[in-house]
Structure 1
Amino acid sequence: MAVPVLRAAVRSDVPAIGELMRRSVLELFPHFHDERETASAAEHLAVPDVVLIDDGTYFVHEHAGEVVACGGWSKRDKLYTGSGARPGEDRLLDPTTEPARVRAMFVRGDWARRGLGRALLGACERAAGESGFRSLVLVATLPGVPLYRSFGFREVEPARVPLPDGTVLAGASMEYRLG
């Protein structure tokens, strides 16, 4: 099977990204989360953030015209989708004193464990470093923790990811030093 092409996401990818996110949650979350948590995540986490696309910091892996993985980084203060709007979350971060955020990483279940997540993280690492950032942080849901650990992220503390419907997902706050 041919290797998917990694490229910057564009606005016309938004419907395919949304479908991929939802499919990824429905396929991978049941291994880590119960039925209620999975359903809530499919509704509230599987939402493309066009700010990342407009900022040029979001990537997709495309194979045979289909988006099979996506993820990116942010130079803004928002940590994750689904958290609801917070004042100041669109604020640009200071790369000399604040870490960039890894955001919205999803892989279709039939493409999991083929190196796509690692390639997305590598693209984030390079681009954030070229933008002057010294570290990356993220709040991982449980399905992503093994990938981030294997890439070199360090768990800082357990995290709780509250969703708008009151569901709370277990996760981990993690960090990665650049350079």
Structure 2
Amino acid sequence: MWGVEAVLRLAVPTDGSAVAELARASVRELFPAYYDAAQTASAAEHITTLDQALIDDGTYYVHEAGGEVVACGGWSRRNKLFNASTAGADERLLDPATEPARIRAMFVRSDWTRRGLGRAILTACVDAARAEGFTQLALMATLPGVPLYKASGFTEVETVELTMPDGVLLGGVAMERPVDLPDKESYS
């Protein structure tokens, strides 16, 4: 796969099954370094469900290589912080002047990690959120994603225990950053 280039594009409705498959595979392969077997299984079931609104809203991206989706992620202008979350979530549009856009559902296939795909998706999300007037970004990171987000200028707000719909607790980190960082060069 090293000779194949990954191309970033907006996701379309027909990408749904490939995105869900990639998300589940990513969790099964990457989460065991951070979570136990029960947590990994629960995450594979509950946080990998595709939120179709992200694709419908035109805020979800995929990296495609050799006809396969190898990375995905996006942002949202709606009031939902992460999959498997219903607390406080609704379909209303966020106010860009007072509320942060949400970075959502970032997954990279294990054999495509460390190639800049996640960073490229984050850059596309930041640019799109900026174009809609957002000044802040927020996300709920699972532990495998924290290094990418920190390297991209996000700061930790709090460490949390997320209760999955099956009652399993999953460690997470609420993070945020301004859309425009004071010194963008240090994060590129």
- Report the TM-score when normalising by structure 2: 0.92
- Distance in 1 (alpha carbons) for counterparts of 2:125 and 2:163: 25
Kindly indicate whether the alpha-carbon contact (under 8 Å) linking 2:75 and 2:125 is maintained by their aligned counterparts in 1. Answer: yes
Q: Structure 2: state its 5+ residue gaps.
A: 181-188
What stretches of structure 1 of length at least 5 have no aligned partner? none
Aligned to 1:60: 62
Q: How does 1:74-93 map to 2 (within 5 A)?
A: 74-83=76-85, 85-86=86-87, 89-93=90-94
SS in 1 for 2:79: coil
Shift of the alpha carbon at 1:3? 2.1
Deviation track 1:105-149 (CA, whole Å, cap 9, x = no partner) reads 000000011110000100100000001000100010101001100
Q: Which moved more, 1:153-162 or 1:50-59?
A: 153-162
Aligned to 1:49: 51
Letter in 1 for 2:117: L
Name the counterpart of 1:139: 140
1:20 match: 22
Q: Give TM-score, length-normalised by structure 1.
A: 0.97
Give the deviation of 1:9 after TM superposition: 0.3
| Residue deviations 1:75-104 (CA, integer Å, cap 9, x gap) | 000000012x45652110000110000000
Verify the 8 A CA contact 2:119 2:148 in the aligned structure 1: yes
Does the 8 Å contact 2:47/2:83 carry over to 1?
yes
- Report whether the alignment pairs 1:153 with 2:135: no
Aligned-residue identity in percent: 58
Alignment partner of 2:161: what SS?
Answer: strand
CA distance in 2, matches of 1:55, 1:36: 33
> Does the 8 A contact of 1:139 with 1:159 survive in 2?
no
CA distance in 1, matches of 2:172, 2:89: 23
- In structure 1, C-alpha distance between the alignment counterparts of 2:83 and 2:30, rounded to whole Å: 18
Q: CA deviation at 1:2?
A: 2.7
| Residue 163 (structure 1) aligned with residue 172 (structure 2) | no
Question: 2:115: which partner in 1?
Answer: 114
The amino acid that maps onto 2:12 is: V
- Which shifted more, 156-165 or 63-72? 156-165
RMSD of Structure 2 on Structure 1 (CA): 1.0
Q: Cα deviation per residue 1:35-82 (whole Å; 9 max; x = unaligned)? A: 000000000111111000000000000001100000000000000001
Q: Tell me the matched-pair count.
A: 178
User: 1:15, 1:54 → 2: CA distance?
Assistant: 15
User: Where has structure 1 moved over 6 Å in runs of 4 or more?
Assistant: none
